[in-house]
Chains A and B, each alone.
Chain A
Amino acid sequence: MLKSYFPVVIFILLGAGVGTAFTLLNNVLGPRRPNPVKREPYECGLPSEVKRNFRFGISFYLIAMLFILFDIEVIFLYPVAIQLKALGTFALVETVVFIALLLVGFVFVWRRGALEWR
Chain B
Amino acid sequence: MTTLLIAAAKAPVIDYKGISPLFAVAGGAVIVLMAALIRGRFAQRVLVPFLTVGALGAAIGLSIWNWHTGDSRPIVEGALAIDPLALGLSLLFYITGLATVAFAWRSRALRESGTGEFFGLMLGSIAGMTILGSAENLITLFVGIELLSIPLYVMCASDVRRETSLESGLKYLVIGSVGSATLLYGLALIYGATGHTGFAEINNAIGNSVNLTDPLLLTGIALAAAGLAFKASVAPFHAWTPDVYEGAPTPVTAFMAVATKTAAFAVILRFFLEALVSAQEQWAPALAALAVITIIVGNVGAIAQNSLKRMLAWSGVAQAGYMLAGVVVGTQLGLQATAFYLAMYLFMNLAAFGVVIARERVSEHGDGLKSLEGLGSASPLLAWPMTIAMLSLAGFPATAGFIGKFYLISAAVDGNWAWLGVMIVVGSMLSLVYYLRVIAVMWMTPLKIELPGRPRRARREVQPVAGWSPEADPRAQPEVLLVTLIMAAATIFFGIVPSPLFHLAHDVGTSISALFS
Contacts and interface: CB of A to CB of B under 8 A. Distances in A.
Classify A-B as touching or not with yes or no (CB < 8 A).
yes
Interface of A: 83, 86-91, 101, 104, 107-108, 111-112
Given A90-B12, A101-B30, 11 more contacts: A86-B6, A87-B9, A87-B11, A88-B11, A89-B11, A104-B34, A107-B34, A107-B37, A108-B33, A108-B36, A112-B37
A50 B421 CA distance: 65
A83 B9 contact: yes
Interface of B: 5-6, 9-12, 30, 33-34, 36-37
Nearest to B114: A112
Q: Tell me the interface secondary structure of chain B in the complex.
A: helix
A112 B30 CA distance: 15
B30 A90 contact: no
25 contacts: A83-B5, A83-B9, A86-B5, A86-B6, A86-B9, A87-B9, A87-B11, A88-B10, A88-B11, A89-B11, A90-B11, A90-B12, A91-B11, A101-B30, A104-B30, A104-B33, A104-B34, A107-B34, A107-B37, A108-B33, A108-B34, A108-B36, A108-B37, A111-B37, A112-B37
A104 B29 CA distance: 11
Contacts of B5: 83, 86
A88 B12 CA distance: 11
Contacts of B34: 104, 107-108
A89 B37 CA distance: 33
A57 to B, nearest CB: 19
A108 B328 CA distance: 45
A20 B513 CA distance: 73
A87 B7 CA distance: 10
Interface SS, A side: helix
Contacts of A90: 11-12
B121 to A, nearest CB: 12
A23 B348 CA distance: 74
A111 B43 CA distance: 16
A60 B257 CA distance: 36
A107 B37 CA distance: 9
A111 B10 CA distance: 39
Contacts of B11: 87-91
Nearest to A112: B37
Closest 8 A/B residue pairs (Cβ): A90-B11, A86-B9, A111-B37, A87-B9, A104-B30, A108-B33, A83-B9, A86-B6
A69 to B, nearest CB: 11
A89 B36 CA distance: 33
A77 to B, nearest CB: 16
Nearest to B116: A108
A105 B6 CA distance: 33
A101 B30 CA distance: 8
A104 to B, nearest CB: 5
A101 B12 CA distance: 21
A86 B4 CA distance: 12
A103 B159 CA distance: 27
A11 B9 CA distance: 36
A89 B9 CA distance: 12
Contacts of B6: 86
Contacts of A88: 10-11
B112 to A, nearest CB: 15
A79 to B, nearest CB: 10
A116 to B, nearest CB: 15
Q: Chain A CB within 10 Å — which of B6, B9, B30, B34 has the most?
A: B9
A91 B8 CA distance: 13
Contacts of A108: 33-34, 36-37
A90 B13 CA distance: 11
B250 to A, nearest CB: 26
Contacts of A101: 30
Contacts of B10: 88
Contacts of B12: 90
A65 to B, nearest CB: 12
A104 B32 CA distance: 11
Contacts of A89: 11
A27 B37 CA distance: 49
B499 to A, nearest CB: 44
A104 B34 CA distance: 7
